Structure 1
Amino acid sequence: MRFKQQQNAKLPQVDLIPMLNVMMGILAFFVMITMTLGSESLIEVQLPADQPEADTPLPADPFIVELAGVNDVRLNGQPIDPDTLKAQVTDYLARNPENIIFLLPSQDLPYEQVMQFLGEMRAVGGDRVSLAIEE
């Protein structure tokens, strides 16, 4: 049996252009994600050091601001206007220099809205405004 010999045997070529296109797309994706995540600096948060959990009792007259919806703000369970709330925050902090204001957001609200409201509250109350969660 005789085999035919190929006279024009060429070496296979690897086309690098599609592979480079894919690699550049992946690189662009990671650059955009890194730029997006690196620029978020809404609220500075200081996490507590590892300490044994101690149940801190609420003050005698707690100041709990509930954020239930887009324009639904409640102070100790009663609906309140945001401008009136800012005035009451200032008054409460002046009367009680040791107490903290608790912000209790609804679980259904978007993160951005909660952080924006917390930022507005911190503009009035400083670091004495704390984000609270229900257990």
Structure 2
Amino acid sequence: MRFKTQSSPPPPQVDLIPMLTVMMGVLAFFVVVTTTLSQETLVDIQLPAEDQADADVPFPADPFIVELVGENEVLLNGQPTDLDTLATQMEAYLSRNPNDTVFLLPHQDLPYEQVMQFLGDMRRIGGNRVSLAIEAQP
């Protein structure tokens, strides 16, 4: 009598090429996203020390206050002005008053990104002599 021998099937083959292709695609995605997020420009903000926070800072006799009311809507000391005129007047003010500061007073409903972008543009003109101001709430 002849017995049939059961032959065991060959072990399954695992093809790693498609898995490696997907993993390399995911890795490339994260590398691209990481490099684009790390290239954001930041605005350098210097906060006063604790002992200076309560001290009275002398306010200039003729302050240069820029109010950011809306997108491309700017008031200079309460008077509407355009961005080109503002840049010219700001340069002139800073050259006349070497120890004074330019204040940016944004409207509180404006998006944070818009305020920081405008502050960065002002800092390109005035450097560290541009300050972000807030109105004290009663």
TM-score by length of 2: 0.67
Residue 77 and residue 14 in structure 1: after superposition, are their counterparts in 2 closer, same or farther (change >3 A)? farther
> Counterparts of 1:34-45 in structure 2 under 5 Å?
34-40=34-40, 42-43=41-42, 45=44
One-letter amino acid of the counterpart of residue 104, structure 2: L
Q: Is 1:103–2:104 an aligned residue pair?
A: yes
Question: Equivalent residue for 1:64?
Answer: 65
Question: How far 1:62 sits from its partner (Å)?
Answer: 3.2
Give 1:121's aligned residue. 122
1:18 lines up with 2:15 in the alignment: no
**Identical aligned residues as a percent:** 57
Larger Rg: 2
Higher mean displacement: 67-76 or 25-34: 67-76
- The answer as to 2:54 corresponding to 1:52 is no
The residue type equivalent to 2:82 in the other structure is D
What secondary structure is seen at the aligned counterpart in 2 of 1:45? coil
Deviation of 1:129 after TM superposition, in Å, equals: 1.5
- Give the conservation status (yes or no) of the 8 Å contact 1:74–1:80: yes
Q: List gaps (5 residues or longer) in structure 2.
A: none
Task: Give the aligned residue type for 2:24.
Answer: M
Per the alignment, in what secondary structure is the counterpart of residue 131 of structure 2?
Answer: strand
Contact 1:69 1:109 in 2 (8 A): no
Query: Given that residues 106 and 115 in structure 2 are in contact (C-alpha distance below 8 angstroms), is that contact kept between their aligned partners in structure 1?
Result: yes
Supply the distance in 2 between the matched residues of 1:5 and 1:134 (Cα, whole angstroms). Answer: 92
Q: TM-score, normalised by structure 1?
A: 0.69
Matches of 2:6 and 2:69, distance apart in 1: 79
- Cα offset, 1:101, TM superposition: 1.1
Q: Following the alignment from structure 2 to structure 1, what is the Cα–Cα distance between the partners of residues 44 and 71?
A: 23
Q: Which stretches in structure 1 are left out of the alignment for 5+ residues?
A: none
CA RMSD, Structure 1 to Structure 2 (Å): 3.2
| Length, aligned pairs only | 129
